Amino acid sequence: MTPSLALWSLSDAVAESLPDGGLINETFRVTRAGEVVGFLQRLNTRIFVPEVHEDIAAITEHVAARGLHTPRLAPTAEGRLWHTADDGGVWRLLTPVGDRTVHRVTELSDARAAGALVARWHSALSDFAWSFRSVRAGAHDTPKHMAGLRDAVATHVGHRLHAEVEELARTISAGWRSWTGPTELPTRVIHGDLKISNVRFSGPDATALIDLDTCAWGTLDVELGDALRSWCNRGSEDMASPSWDLDVFVAAMEGYASAARCTPTEWAAIVPGCERICWELAARFARDALEESYFGFDPAFGGRGEHNLLRARGQAALAASVRAQRGEAEAVLARLTGGPSRT
């Protein structure tokens, strides 16, 4: 049950659940007289601590001061960044930004605009000095995720999907063992979850980044690797054999290079970083196909295990597709940045 909107001085507003409900945080659209005035969310406290709102407030204040559009936390009537309900639920209200969400890249202009926005957002935070209150240690510790998959396969031998996951785990492990790419990169403030639906658009323009709970100190290979994994998959994460679209990559990197400030090592890490994140996510999905405890799922695909096994197969296929096109993708970056291409 949602808390009273009177807590935010919006007693005359109405909260309605979004069609997808929010993948991580339960989300409700708040309207008054037919106008969207905010988004009410219940924080997933299995993943984030309430103090993450201090991080969000600091980041949004910083980027807004540099001229970027951004959602802002609407304080409660008592001036608090979040409200803790009697049942322990943590709720916040965010101001609306943009008027369009892209769930899958179909237009190269959207990829180009999104890339440029991400570059401006990164640049705006280049002088941001902050000690994050919410820290998800090991979020992109790929060797740790690979070890977690091995442990799950060894532990859940009686699971109905064990044989299929075990076979896929061998493919994932072999792919990761043969992966190559730069690993010593400078840290910077990253968004941490740049799927295309976290980029809000206004008409043709990419306006703002949303879902800022995952912001952290990290590296560009993780940041753009995860973004490009999502953007360049013109199919779906619910497909067993998607492919990585080079045309989307070119458009996104044209946009990003137009406003980015990166070191040569960071540029060199982008394409292998994308492959790495695909293998990593494949391992995480495959692990949860057996443990059935972390990722949400759509019952239309069967149980949680079945859906996560399908997702794991898709990410493994995507990793292989990135690897097959690595030379071409790195030649694109060389053209855009004046750096050497991989031979």
Q: Report yes or no: 54 and 212 within 8 Å, Cβ to Cβ.
A: no
Report d(CA 33, CA 139) in Å as an integer. Answer: 41
Task: Give me the residue spans of the domains in the chain.
Answer: 5-96, 101-337
Report d(CA 321, CA 241) in Å as an integer. Answer: 9
pLDDT mean over 278-294: 96
- DSSP 8-state secondary structure symbol assigned to residue 88: S
Q: Which two tokens stand for residue 313?
A: 């197969």
pLDDT, tens digit, for every residue of 68-108?
999 999 999 999 999 999 999 999 999 999 999 999 999 99
User: Cα–Cα distances in Å, from 114 out to 76, 211, 335?
Assistant: 32, 15, 20
Where helices occur in 141-245 by DSSP H, the ranges are 142-155, 162-177, 220-231
pLDDT mean over 278-303: 94
pLDDT of residue 343: 37
52: helix, strand or coil: helix
- DSSP 8-state secondary structure symbol assigned to residue 6: G
pLDDT mean over 305-319: 97
Where helices occur in the chain by DSSP H, the ranges are 52-65, 108-124, 142-155, 162-177, 220-231, 246-257, 264-291, 304-324, 326-337
Q: Which two tokens stand for residue 1?
A: 């049950």
pLDDT of residue 20: 67
5-96: which CATH architecture?
A: 2-Layer Sandwich (3.30)
Mean pLDDT of the chain: 94
Report d(CA 42, CA 46) in Å as an integer. Answer: 12
Q: Report yes or no: 161 and 288 within 8 Å, Cβ to Cβ.
A: no
- Please state the length of the chain: 343
Check whether 55 has a pLDDT greater than 80: yes
pLDDT mean over 32-58: 95
Report d(CA 196, CA 314) in Å as an integer. Answer: 18
Percent of the chain with pLDDT over 90: 89
pLDDT of residue 236: 83
Check whether 63 has a pLDDT greater than 80: yes
pTM beyond cutoff 0.85: yes
CATH, range 101-337: 3.90.1200.10
pLDDT of residue 295: 86
pLDDT, tens digit, for every residue of 192-250?
999 999 999 999 999 999 999 999 999 999 999 999 999 999 888 888 899 999 999 99
pLDDT mean over 44-68: 96
Check whether 342 has a pLDDT greater than 80: no
Check whether 36 has a pLDDT greater than 80: yes
Check whether 296 has a pLDDT greater than 90: no
pLDDT of residue 18: 82
Percent of the chain with pLDDT over 70: 97
